[in-house]
Structure 1
Amino acid sequence: MGKGGMSQGGAEEVRDGEEENMAVWLVGINSLKIQPFKLPSPGPHDVRVRMKAVGICGSDVHYLKTMRCADFVVKEPMVIGHECAGIIEEVGSEVKTLLPGDRVALEPGISCWRCNLCKEGRYNLCPEMKFFATPPVHGSLANQVVHPADLCFKLPDNVSLEEGAMCEPLSVGVHACRRANVGPETNVLVMGAGPIGLVTMLAARAFGAPRIVIVDVDDHRLSVAKELGADGIAKVSTNIQDVAEEVVQIHKIMGTRVDVSFDCAGFNKTMSTALSATCPGGKVCLVGMGHSEMTVPLTPAAAREVDVIGIFRYKNTWPLCLEFIRSGKIDVKPLITHRFGFSQKEVEEAFETSARGGNAIKVMFNL
């Protein structure tokens, strides 16, 4: 298991007068239970954090519905959750940068720092990554977790704990914008107006993109995107036959060339649209992972020197996310549409709300 804790053995017992640490365990398909979660004592460079805000991610819902997400399979009960912020309760003997009482946002992945990818700074690709709620590592939807201090980022005074938890999904958008070199001369197309599409749109704006058009099949999500600052919206179908005419529609709404397209859905149709809509010499960044394999018009895109880039999670994004939120360049608060407490009934309701979609964008637990 990661630093977060363990299911049995090797953990400190509950001391007299201390509350028992409880967590939300995924125990089977569509089955979550609040059960005890034993934590290890913090190592010299670790901190113990009391969780205060934890968001539900699409991957959490995937695990709940299928006990797997991509190639990661849940084989034994696992604590869920990874979008989180909380308050420091205890610091390890060597921790110099944090104190008990500090409010922090947690970056959920612990890399090895020894492999070539880590040494090159691309630690998000570390093969030994221990990431909250990615089996077999436990997550953070718990009263408390233990985590490395260098992955806990102090919140500015004007940034709430909920906003701190939103740094995790926002980091995906920030990392995507960095990979695609978004700037003040980059007109951006976003395929998909779900939570990740919306944070990618917000990040692109903060990076200086002058014009952003967002595309979806759902009217409500498009209206939310418009409220959050999209310059143009386009409703599309799920029919692959419609790509050519929808590209014409997208170009008309954009009114200028599409320099970078972000596919935040990851389906045959969305990727085909992105490749076709992007200008010669532009970039398509695949963010969403809807289909593990796709059939797309790659040859004509290659002939126009359209670069296709991928992203996996993020790296070194928390300081920038916190600065964007602190300065008001990005407002994540409107993305939080539903809030729940930490009881068995509310946990089940929260996951049902998130899975249902509808008008839910980000569902947040307040612990």
Structure 2
Amino acid sequence: MTFTYHAPDELQQLGEHIRDKAIQVTMDQSASYSAAQQAANNDATRAETGQLTQAEGYTPPTHGRPDDEDNLRSWVSQAYAEIPAMFAAFALPSPDTCRPALEALYGTAATVQVDLQMVARDNSVTAPNAVRPLADTAQVGEVVDLIRSHMSQWRGTAATAFKGYLKTSESAAALHRELALSLALGLETQLEINRRINTDIWTIGQQTLKALDGLDSWCPGGNASKVTALITIGGAIAAVVYAGVAVEAGAAASALAGAVGVEGWQSLGTILGNTGPFQEKKVGIGGMTVPPIITGMQNAMTELSKTADALQQQLTEGLSKYTLTVHTNSNWDRLLISPPEQFTRYTHANAQTLRTPDGLYVA
């Protein structure tokens, strides 16, 4: 989906707009005005009897009745004072700030295997565009082939051991590539969660304003009760995992396809793909007076927070399982291979020693 980032000050301003609109509609619309009068009187009674008031920090007026217009406006202002802070609480840095980290991870993967060069594309979740490997590097396969060509006439125990080391290095490099891609997948997933939080909280605010505008119209009718907000964050992980691992017939593997399918290696893509996606949800925000609209807004925020927390937990658990996969003895030994002792013991040997059957023995 196309993503437009909304900065913290935009969310603050949106909350302020909703707060001001809620106050204005409450004072102008008769049904909302009557509801506020009743609520203000109830809060006055609660405050006098030491109970928790609906409007946080409310104190009864010193002059006049609680439901007099001036006192009522003060109560309404207190009742909706926290709305800007509710929106500001969802503020997040722009996902674009992580673009260099993503490009570094994809560049690392491309360095290891150049035919799967990758980098994130603009600010959406798609198979990335091809890029060059990291600067001043060459893919591992090319380096290994170059060394092999220079060793073509080498014989001896040390030479044989080193050739085996080269072969093992290729398989280790493939796992390093998988590691880089899985780290990229984890970062992509977190960024997509953040994108959808940013998008969904903005949608909640816009739909709340739409519902309030409906009450402020000449004839509200029944439309104000039909406003809904689509909470898309439930599809965040699926959008990354399934878009990332999809491979078209006859085409090169897409961005994260390499994070799945290495024998004996449970990748992050596999782990997250098996957890089961959450669902997108619609939350009603409408109502025929201001209070149910604000309650619907808060319910939508709660749903967004709850789903975001669940997704964060799912990602955390997936990363923990992936870490265990990487750090098992068999995988760790395949990632960080040791040079063969038969070769390294000749580090300071002279030419005569190297030309023995146990050495490099050039025929």
TM-score by length of 2: 0.21
Higher helix share: 2
- Structure number with greater Rg is 2
Q: Which has the higher contact order (CA 8 A, sep 6+)?
A: 2
Give 1 or 2: higher strand fraction.
1
